[in-house]
Amino acid sequence: MGAASSREVKDEIMSENYLAGEKKGNIYTISLNRPKKRNAITVEMLSGLCELVEKQATDPDIRAIIIKGAGKIFSAGVDLNSLGAEVGACLGEAGAGGGAPLRALIYRFQQYFNRLEAVEIPIICAMHGRTLGLGIELALAGDIRLMSDDCIWAMPELKLGVIADLGGTSRLSRLLGPSRTMEIFLTARDYTAHRPSIGDWLITSILKTILLLKLKKWPGIWPPPRHLPVERLKKSSSAAMVLIS
């Protein structure tokens, strides 16, 4: 690697999708960049995020990807305006006698998170302020979850009678076990990183907000050594979680 590959590189990635990318050394950082909309995630944004992550994972210089949010919070969850037209159309067709369009829409979202989970380099989600709904689903598809000490996370859709059917249900169950997951779903309460028996399993590390927002690498020995077969470790870990869930 020459000097050009080690210097900091910043670029705006698919500005219409509100994603910003930055390469520094062996780390590529992606920011959800809609601070005025509390980083609410649109359909196009999620699709663009998958494409960007997969593209960076093919760069031999990149050994880890960090996803974080610009502004005061990580993400307020799904952008309802973005989803409204698609869901409305699906519900209209379902009401006419067929639920296939709605199932296809849910499947499409599930595949976005499956694609992120399958990426063969580590994905770190650095959450601060608030992380809600689809933001938590995104973090669950990553490998390491960091959270600021003042962060609150929740699945507010549960209060509306909507379950996390985009992968959050199964991923939470694999991480926390069925009993703790049922507590989250049945109470629909807000949680912090410090919540005993839940935060300890869900969150890898808790950092001061100012440190998390400036995060360029995970504290400690990071990124992983180049000779470490990370892709095999990820596949083995995922297979083991499926077997014990």
Q: Active-site positions?
A: 137, 157
HSE (CB half, 13 Å, CA atoms) of 220? Answer: 6
Which 3 state secondary structure label does DSSP give 41? strand
Phi, psi torsion values for 154, nearest 5 degrees: -165, 165
With a CB cutoff of 8 Å and minimum separation 6, the contacts of 199 are 147, 191, 192, 193, 206
Helix axis angle for 80-95 and 43-57, nearest 10°, is 110
> Please, are residues 245 and 170 in contact by the beta-carbon 8 Å criterion?
yes
Closest by CA position to 212, among listed 71, 68, 77: 68
Cβ atoms within 10 Å, residue 49: 23
DSSP-assigned letters across all residues of 62-95: --EEEEEESTT-SB--B-HHHHHHHHHHHHHHHH
